[in-house]
Amino acid sequence: MIRCLIIDDEDLARQIIREYLAAEPDIEVIGECSDGFEAVKCAGLQKPDLLFLDVQMPKLDGFEVLELVGNGPAVVFITAFDQYATKAFDAAAVDYLLKPFDISRFRTALERVRKRLGDSSAAPNAADLKNASRPPGQYSTRIVVKDGTKVHIIQTDSLDYVEAQDDYVALHSGGKAYLKQQTISSVAESLDPERFVRVHRSFLVNLDRVRNIEPYTKETRIAILTTGAQVPVSRTGFVKLRELMNRT
């Protein structure tokens, strides 16, 4: 049996999916969720094989839910209009349903799901998928982090700097550090390059937090942040930082 979780903030959408699935003997609906926080909690407890996941939802959107749930379940995204998202889904071989969808298109999605569940290849990274789906010139205003059973939402305005730590990043905000499994390159791609600068291969800083820059070695410098933190700046990073600081 394929254990399925339906996640959509619209009652009618959940009802339609549930009715379509009733005709599928190999799929068991183990729950329904109307918001992202509920979905993350339910997925953590129930460990579904398949998510029908709405993209546009309040509190947490579908991409953020997927980031927090992880790449375990197969996912069929549901969206009403996002042309950029559909392109990203096609490129990443993740199926999607455009509302309104009929039973024929729904069954096609299920066939793809069955094949996906039998495929051992790695699922696309949720953060990279979100970056690919974002319209040009639009950047993240928040970052979600799961810490045990807690979900932290970090507004990018409050982000001081980001530090790479192997396969993770430490997001420094408000005197605290939040660890997330994501590459620093992916974080940098999601943030406004006019506000966040990759000053070192392992560090990304909020331009508004830079108080001054001091020499460190012949090739490197140190950025002193308004929080008192010290961040190394490479020669290339210094060029980028100086160029942006001169614009303000």
160-176 confidence digits (pLDDT tens): 999 999 889 999 999 99
Write down the domain spans for the chain.
Answer: 2-133, 142-247
> How many CB atoms neighbour CB 168 within 10 A?
14
Query: Quick one: pLDDT band at residue 123, thresholds 50, 70, 90?
Result: low
Q: Which residues contact 51 (CB under 8 A, 6 or more apart)?
A: 4, 5, 7, 39, 43, 65, 66, 69, 73, 74, 75, 76
> What confidence score (pLDDT) does residue 81 get?
75
- Lowest model confidence (mean pLDDT) among 6-20, 84-98, 133-147: 84-98
CATH number of 2-133: 3.40.50.2300
> What confidence score (pLDDT) does residue 175 get?
92
Give the pLDDT mean for 126-133: 75
The percent of residues above 90 in pLDDT, for the chain, comes to: 65
Query: Quick one: pLDDT band at residue 95, thresholds 50, 70, 90?
Result: confident
User: How far is residue 6's CA from residue 27's CA, in Å, rounded to a whole number?
Assistant: 12
- Lowest model confidence (mean pLDDT) among 86-90, 144-148, 223-227, 241-245: 86-90
Task: Give pLDDT tens digits for 169-228.
Answer: 999 999 999 999 999 999 999 999 999 999 999 999 999 999 999 998 888 899 999 999
> What confidence score (pLDDT) does residue 134 get?
77
Task: Give pLDDT tens digits for 32-78.
Answer: 999 999 999 999 999 999 999 998 888 898 889 988 998 788 889 88
CATH number of 142-247: 2.40.50.1020
Give φ, ψ of 231 to 5 degrees. -120, 130
